Amino acid sequence: MNAPISTVVNHPITSTAQVAMRSAFKTTAKRLPTPAELRQHLPLNGALSEQIERQRHAVQQILNGYDDRLLVVVGPCSVHDPDAALEYADRLAALSEEVSGQLLPVMRVYIEKPRTTVGWKGLAYDPDLDGSGDMPRGLTLSRELMHAVAARGLPVATELLQPMLAPYLDDLLSWVAIGARTTESQLHRELASDLSAAVGFKNATSGDIQVAIDAMQAAVHPHQRFAVDPQGFPIVQQSEGNPHTHVVLRGGHGEPNYQAKHVRAATTALRNAGQNPRLMVDCSHANARKDHRRQSEVMLDVLAQRQAGDANLVALMLESHLFEGKQPLKPGAMRYGVSVTDACVGWETTEHLLKTAAERLS
Q: How confident is the model at residue 61 (pLDDT cuts 50, 70, 90)?
A: very high
Q: Tell whether the model's pLDDT for residue 159 goes beyond 60.
A: yes
At the fourth CATH level, which superfamily is domain 34-361? Aldolase class I (3.20.20.70)
pLDDT of 139 above 50: yes
pTM exceeds 0.75 for this model:
yes
The whole-number pLDDT of residue 104 equals 98
β-pairing, 224-228 vs 234-238, is antiparallel
Rounded CA gap, 188 and 223, in Å? 12
Amino acid at 29: A
What is the spatial distance between Cα 103 and Cα 121, in angstroms, rounded to a whole number?
A: 31
Average pLDDT, the chain: 92
Q: For residue 202, which of 285, 135, 272 has the smallest C-alpha distance? A: 285
pLDDT (tens digit per residue) in 191-217: 999 999 999 999 999 999 999 999 999
- At residue 7, does pLDDT exceed 50? no
Task: For residues 122-149, give the mean pLDDT.
Answer: 97
Which tens digit of pLDDT belongs to each residue from 210-239? Answer: 999 999 999 999 999 999 999 999 999 999
Predicted local distance difference test score (pLDDT) of residue 27: 55
